[in-house]
């Protein structure tokens, strides 16, 4: 009998659980996984997209999950630690949400909220750009990352707790350039907490009279965002 046959028989004597991966959520070894780090059972419990928010005619907000619990942990790991497993979880949730809920308007192009080049270098990439690029590929539409640009340096929103401070911080922070009129736009950001960043970007886009603006984020806060945006 060959060495390979002996080795195979020896391995068959070991229990299967020795070779099963461990779920990041339940910390149990499972056989079936939705992503590389979350098992099917935990995913079915975690994944529950929040209701769409209709801000005003033609402008809506869609998010894959709420900014809390494990989802908040995923976003922080993906954004600040460049954790690929966490990023995969966010992208899987977003793709599933788009398929299940469908977007309220057609999409002609995807525009990401611009990130500071310095922050992108420090974080070894931009979670917002990667997410927007994934959505554009899934929808089969162009990604235009030079349409919305910052007019000035903007301090980090995460350091501001007050809604009024965040709104003032983002006031006139963006300008839109080289955009055709009457386009169906998908505006992408990684997370929506108070809505100040999205509001500033939408205000810049309104100069080109878009047919619709669908704001899409990985996560959003559980606050009544519709009262703070637009």
* pLDDT tens per residue, range 94-144: 999 999 888 989 999 999 998 865 565 556 678 999 999 999 999 999 999
Same domain, 2 and 51: no
pLDDT in tens, 21-45: 999 999 999 989 999 999 999 999 9
Distance of alpha carbon 187 from the chain centroid: 11
pLDDT tens for each residue of 69-94: 999 999 999 999 999 999 999 999 99
Same domain? For 22 and 34 the reply is yes
Specify whether 74 is located in the same domain as 60.
Answer: yes
* 34 and 91 inside one domain: no
102 in the same domain as 130: yes
Q: Within 13 Å, how many C-alpha atoms sit on residue 10's CB side?
A: 7
Q: How far apart are CA 76 and CA 194, in angstroms?
A: 17
Q: Which domain holds residue 34?
A: 1-45
Kindly state whether residues 136 and 163 are assigned to the same domain: yes
**Residue 215 φ then ψ, to 5°:** -85, 125
Q: How many domains does the chain have?
A: 2
Q: Assess whether 33 and 139 both reside in one domain.
A: no
Residues 159 and 126 in one domain: yes
- Is residue 39 located within the same domain as residue 60? no
């Amino acid at each position: 009998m060959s060495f390979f046959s002996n080795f195979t028989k020896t391995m068959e004597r070991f229990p299967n659980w020795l070779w099963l991966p461990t779920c990041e959520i339940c910390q149990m070894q499972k056989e079936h996984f939705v992503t590389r780090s979350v098992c099917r059972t935990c995913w079915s419990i975690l994944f529950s997209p929040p209701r769409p928010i209709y801000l005003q005619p033609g402008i809506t907000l869609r998010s894959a999950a709420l900014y809390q619990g494990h989802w908040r942990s995923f976003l922080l790991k993906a954004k600040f630690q460049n954790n690929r497993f966490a990023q995969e979880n966010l992208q899987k949730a977003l793709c599933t949400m788009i398929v299940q809920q469908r977007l309220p308007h057609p999409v002609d192009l995807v525009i990401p909220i611009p990130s500071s080049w310095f922050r992108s270098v420090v974080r070894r990439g931009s979670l917002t750009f990667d997410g927007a690029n994934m959505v554009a590929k899934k929808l089969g539409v162009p990604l235009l990352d030079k349409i919305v640009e910052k007019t000035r340096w903007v301090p980090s929103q995460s350091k501001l707790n007050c809604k009024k401070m965040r709104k003032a911080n983002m006031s006139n922070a963006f300008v839109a350039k080289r955009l055709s009129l009457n386009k169906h736009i998908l505006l992408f950001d990684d997370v929506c907490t108070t809505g100040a960043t999205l509001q500033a970007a939408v205000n810049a886009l309104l100069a080109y009279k878009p047919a619709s603006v669908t704001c899409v984020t990985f996560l959003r806060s559980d606050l009544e965002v519709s009262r703070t945006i637009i």
